[in-house]
Structure 1
Amino acid sequence: MPELLHITERSLWDAARATGTYEMSTRGRTLQEEGFIHCSTRAQLPRVAAFLYGSYSGPDDLVVLVIDPERLGVPVRYEASEAGGEEFPHVYGAIPVAAVTAVEPGAPL
């Protein structure tokens, strides 16, 4: 399975490193609220970044988590928000810090 990517605020990633797991689904929504963590492929990343963070005032405070799905220990499902739509990877559980193989600065806005 190819790497998964997730854009987040540096402060949220720092907090996850302290607790051992990352539990934000998307901008302003937690795993508990959403039921899964939104991710993207490398090809989807620029569109996701523009959609979620295009108006974000601190793009230098963003990071891209590179996640190894083999290290997750929870299901990953590729799903579309509407029938016939583009499928995005969703992680159905918390992301262990050990599953993050790299942290890339910024976001491709």
Structure 2
Amino acid sequence: MRTIYKICPAAAWREAERHGVFRGSADDVRDGFIHFSTASQLEGTARKHFAGQTGLLLIAIDADGLGEALRWEVSRGGESFPHLYGELDLRHVTAVQDMRARPDGHHEIPELAP
């Protein structure tokens, strides 16, 4: 199983849990796909897009279950990032963890699945 990750405000994630599907953040909707990161990309994603924010969750997803709707596309720094063209069915979620903000505004990345 390959694991990919989504950083998400807790309120938005709780809404997804009520509906059984995550349709993406405002940025995802604007871009036409749900942005994900690999374990090695998480710190950069958190620093660039979530610095200073509190109340965030780290969502772990089984990438292998997403099928052809998941595409790996070149983005920041020439790296390939996972993008989901469609809704995320929550049955593919393997873990939900709190992301604690440090006093410097950056986040502690929870222990990740191998």
Name the counterpart of 1:91: 84
Name the counterpart of 2:27: 29
Normalised to the residue count of structure 2, the TM-score between the two structures is 0.79
Identity of counterpart residues, as a percentage?
A: 34
CA deviation string 1:22-52 (max 9, x = no partner): 0114xx3243x22110000001001100101
Name the counterpart of 2:61: 67
Name the counterpart of 1:9: 9
- For residue 70 of structure 1, report the CA deviation from its aligned partner: 2.8
Tell me how far apart the structure 1 counterparts of residues 75 and 43 of structure 2 sit (CA, whole Å).
18
Count of paired positions: 102
- For residue 8 of structure 1, report the CA deviation from its aligned partner: 0.3
Name the counterpart of 2:52: 55
Name the counterpart of 1:41: 38
Normalised to the residue count of structure 1, the TM-score between the two structures is 0.82
5+ long unaligned stretches in structure 2? 101-105, 108-114
- RMSD of aligned alpha carbons: 2.0
Structure 1 runs of 4+ off > 4 angstroms?
none
